[in-house]
Amino acid sequence: MATFWNRLSRLIGLSSPEEDEALERALRLDFRRRCALFRQLVNSNNRALEVMSDMEEMLRGGKPFGLPQVRGMCAQATANVFKMIRCLEGMTDGRYNALYDRLRAVQQEIGRHVEGGRDPVPGPLVLGLDAIGAADAGEVGPKMANLGELGRIGLDVPSGFVITASGFRRFFEHASLSAEIEGIIRDRQVDRLDARYALSSTIQELIVAAPLPDDLVQAIEAQCQALAETYGDEVRLAVRSSALGEDLPDASFAGQYRTELGVRLDQVTRSYKEVVASKYGVAAMTYRWNRGIPDEGMAVCVGCLPMVDASSGGVVYTRDPVHPSDRRLVIHAVPGLPTAVVDGNVQADRYLVSRDEPMRIEESHVPRKQTMAQLDAMEGVVHVPLQDSEAEAPALAPQVIIDLAEKTLAVERHFGQPQDVEWVVDRQGTLIFLQARPMTGHMPVVPEPQDDPGLPLLLEGGEPASPGAACGPVFVVRKNADAFSFPEGAVLVAAQALPRWAPLLPRASAVVAETGSAAGHLANVAREFDVPAVFGLENAVSVLDGNQMITVDGTHGRIFSGCAEELLASQAGKGPDFMLGSPVMNTLTSVARHIVPLTLLDPESPDFRPDFCRTLHDITRFCHEKSVGELFAADSGPVRKRLAKQLRYNGRPLKYWLIDLGNGFTNPPQDRYIDFENIASRPLHVLWEGMTAQEWGGPPVLDVKGFASIINQAASNRDIEPAMASSFEVKNYFMITDTFLSLQSRFGFHFCTLEALIGDVTDENYASFRFKGGAADLDRRILRAELVADLLEEHGFRTELRQDALLARAEALPRVELEEKLRILGFVMIHTKQLDMVMKNRDMAIVYEQRLRRDLASMIAKSRQ
């Protein structure tokens, strides 16, 4: 089939005026079609580049994001690049259709990183604890694998079983939970805490209501039956999580998942679902979000262990987490079950034990303990008040402390790194280990705050729970709803050091609580996020409430009134950047390699071909270059010869070409020039008024350099940035109608777009302006973009900034108002040209900004007269 151009070529050579006119009409029609495609292509190009800028920003770290977000960005970039190829296909009769294959190849590379992750081969749905060792972490989670390992090295551990990662996947697959949950999460804004609260309950309800598959229920029941035969029907279980990925370096996951205590055998399946659902608890979701840990792939394995009737219990750290240089072991102990220590709702004994043989107790801190947690045959776990004598007594006898320290040190030796170990002593005096995990990584190294900051001391004697010093206004949290109003940078003050406050830690400057210890979950998370914390500080709420500003010294357990600058000055600057090195960041880094880099630099190289496009950026570059060539290149024949008319102003030809898309000229031009007086496009007239309102004080303006150089004059220097090279002669084309104006102007990779529609229908009116790039280095280009954005915002434009890329829009305004906006754009385009080059000097930049602001105001005032 003959193409449009074939048909046109048959027309060329005809010379009668009617035929000539017919040819011009046909050319104009086809040009309009190509313009429309070009415009779509540019829009898609902009969107794809925006995604790339966002990715670059995310790659610098500092801001949390999730895997669904990465996946969404990849998909958007892919769709936009596809659209560009489709537009280019329409503009060039399919000349570059090989690009589709390149896109497919790049997409497969991206998909491999971000959409891969096929589930591993299914294993057993449940496993007995006696069959488990450290090597089984992939199936039972690191916590249960370590526990099995402790049994293997001869320590006492509970018996019991684990519902495995395969069991978890079987459950989710059976109830189609994965897709449903991902959909729910994707629909909401997970980056907001209040949204997370709503999300959390929706998802947890969904999980608890979902049916378990029969084979999983049967496997669990068989294990329960075996426990009943050993311990009797009345045995109570602890049902606790052991999630995959909990062994990630530097991520403690302390207290993120639910543990159900005192569970009867007939309640195990229900408790299992509750623990699994806690994967989507607010604390856990917030934690993963802030640490860049993806939701998916994180199977929750669940251990079901007969509970020990404990006389005492607690936590041992084989290194002091608050003073890591101290080599002593730190033991936290309470009478009864250890849950009180990790939940942070009571005070605990603290013993410091020397590491070297013979081990000895070097310090004992024995506070008064109000209650203890106990297993009750009917009620499960209950908190009972302690008699005076019990409340004051140490929770452990000295020989038990030494025995515990020796065995825990053996655990450290076995695993080869400092350990965080949970234990109980049963009524028969047997020491039983419940959990061991490495504590490497959540031991922050911060400088010691100085002794006397010279401020009024408000409280002291608290237990240092997370080292360092910070100041901020006091904010007392009493109920969950307080979390919504918690201000960034405040000091979180609570009656109890409960894990439920953990989601606020990334926003808190410090934490203070009346109960709790360094061994609790909240302390763990505080140390992880480098937030100083002091726990076990009696009367903290009543003393601190109402204080404007306090300084928390987490190293020494003290609180000062006011902000102790000296104390803070000794602190390391910002907290750790958790995104760097996180699993989600690693995924982004892998996919970005196929999206962001530009390797196709030189359009004049023989390698500037579809099959040399290696990244999505390469494809966008190729499409943009070829589409510009198609419309505007010097050799684009009929367009240039027939349609584009050079602008003549006061009899002098300027380097602007105008293409009439309909009613743009008052009289048809007789030669290759169009005189300014013959332009009927209202938007162009108005823009021109802004452009010519005032001489530019700097380098020459409105000279023969052309309109594109207004934005980016120095870009023609190819030595500055290779990506700027372009094979096309730079021309500045306005496409106009009586009510419409479009300017596409580019230098190599950089370009600017201005569009305006000013008609009688207010709702349809708009002006948009977009530019990116410049000749200076990135910092200066960003400064210039910020300055332009500021100026335009001051005049009612909506702006979006991404590094040096600026988009400004004004829309749905009556004609007169929009005309003023267009005048402002004309002015700003002229008077900010080359401004990036002077941005090296901030003082100079301020002078320019003030001058621009003043001149712009006076231009507006004049035009209103």
Partner 1 sequence: MVKPISVLLVDDEVDLLDFLSKRLARRGFLVQTANNGRQALAAISASKPDVVILDMLMPGGMDGLATLGEIRRLFPHLEVVLLTAHASTEAALRGMELGAYDYMVKPVAIGELVLKIEEASGARGPMTSGTRTGNRYDA
In the complex, the smallest distance separating the C-beta of residue 60 from partner 1, rounded to whole angstroms, is 23
Per rule CB under 8 A, is residue 742 in the interface with partner 1?
yes
In the complex, the smallest distance separating the C-beta of residue 664 from partner 1, rounded to whole angstroms, is 10
3-state helix, strand, coil in the chain (%, to 5): 45, 20, 35
Interatomic CA distance for residues 303 and 151, integer angstroms: 15
Cα torsion 411, 417, 418, 423 to 10°: value is -30
Q: CA-based angle 300:302:303, to the nearest 5? A: 150
Closest CA to 518 of 554, 478, 490: 554
Region near partner 1 per CB under 8 A, out of 438-446, 706-714, 757-765, 781-789: 757-765
Of residues 106 and 458, the one with the C-beta less far from partner 1: 106
Contact letters (x/-) for partner 1, 765-784, by CB under 8 A?
-x------------------
Sites for partner 1 among residues 709-738 (CB under 8 A): 735, 737
Two tokens at 259?
């543990």
Of the residues 104, 192, 840, 854, which one makes contact with partner 1 according to CB under 8 A: 104
In the complex, the smallest distance separating the C-beta of residue 598 from partner 1, rounded to whole angstroms, is 19
Region near partner 1 per CB under 8 A, out of 208-216, 682-690, 754-762, 830-838: 754-762
Of the residues 41, 46, 58, 86, which one makes contact with partner 1 according to CB under 8 A: 86
DSSP 8-state code for residue 448: P
DSSP 8-state code for residue 713: G
Per rule CB under 8 A, is residue 33 in the interface with partner 1?
yes
Sites for partner 1 among residues 64-83 (CB under 8 A): 68, 71-72, 74-76, 78-79, 82-83
Per rule CB under 8 A, is residue 115 in the interface with partner 1?
yes
| Residues forming a β-bridge with 809 | 768, 798
Of the residues 37, 304, 404, 691, which one makes contact with partner 1 according to CB under 8 A: 37
Which strands sit side by side in the sheet containing 474-476, from one edge to the other? Answer: 463-466, 533-535, 510-513, 491-494, 474-476
- In this structure, the strands spanning 419-426 and 431-438 are antiparallel
Site size with partner 1, rule: CB under 8 A: 55
Interatomic CA distance for residues 745 and 749, integer angstroms: 11
Helix (H) or strand (E) holding 398: helix 398-415
Of the residues 14, 25, 189, 862, which one makes contact with partner 1 according to CB under 8 A: 189
Per rule CB under 8 A, is residue 52 in the interface with partner 1?
no
Of the residues 156, 182, 191, 855, which one makes contact with partner 1 according to CB under 8 A: 182
Per rule CB under 8 A, is residue 162 in the interface with partner 1?
no
Of the residues 657, 740, 751, 769, which one makes contact with partner 1 according to CB under 8 A: 740
Place of tokens 């928390």: 552
Closest CA to 751 of 217, 258, 139, 39: 39
**DSSP-H helix ranges across 374-446:** 388-392, 398-415
Two tokens at 429?
């005096």
Two tokens at 313?
């219990």
Per rule CB under 8 A, is residue 755 in the interface with partner 1?
yes
Interatomic CA distance for residues 245 and 252, integer angstroms: 10
In the complex, the smallest distance separating the C-beta of residue 742 from partner 1, rounded to whole angstroms, is 6
Per rule CB under 8 A, is residue 764 in the interface with partner 1?
yes
Per rule CB under 8 A, is residue 188 in the interface with partner 1?
yes
In the complex, the smallest distance separating the C-beta of residue 506 from partner 1, rounded to whole angstroms, is 22
Of residues 32 and 323, the one with the C-beta less far from partner 1: 32
Per rule CB under 8 A, is residue 565 in the interface with partner 1?
no
Of residues 86 and 640, the one with the C-beta less far from partner 1: 86
Place of tokens 């010379």: 15
Sites for partner 1 among residues 288-347 (CB under 8 A): none
Per rule CB under 8 A, is residue 626 in the interface with partner 1?
no
Of residues 5 and 484, the one with the C-beta less far from partner 1: 5
DSSP per-residue letters across 770-794: EEE--SS-HHHHHHHHHHHHHHHHH
Interatomic CA distance for residues 745 and 710, integer angstroms: 10
Neighbouring residues of 688: CB distance < 8 A, sequence distance ≥ 6:
676, 826
Per rule CB under 8 A, is residue 28 in the interface with partner 1?
no
| Residues forming a β-bridge with 132 | none
**DSSP-H helix ranges across 803-841:** 815-831, 835-838
The CA–CA distances, whole Å, from 80 to 44, 132, 664, 744 equal 5, 50, 32, 19
In the complex, the smallest distance separating the C-beta of residue 580 from partner 1, rounded to whole angstroms, is 24
Of the residues 23, 41, 96, 107, which one makes contact with partner 1 according to CB under 8 A: 107
In the complex, the smallest distance separating the C-beta of residue 211 from partner 1, rounded to whole angstroms, is 18
Binding site for partner 1 (CB under 8 A): 1, 3-4, 30, 32-33, 35-37, 39-40, 43, 68, 71-72, 74-76, 78-79, 82-83, 86-87, 89-91, 93, 103-104, 107, 110-111, 114-115, 179, 182-183, 186-189, 661-662, 735, 737, 739-740, 742, 755, 757, 761, 763-764, 766
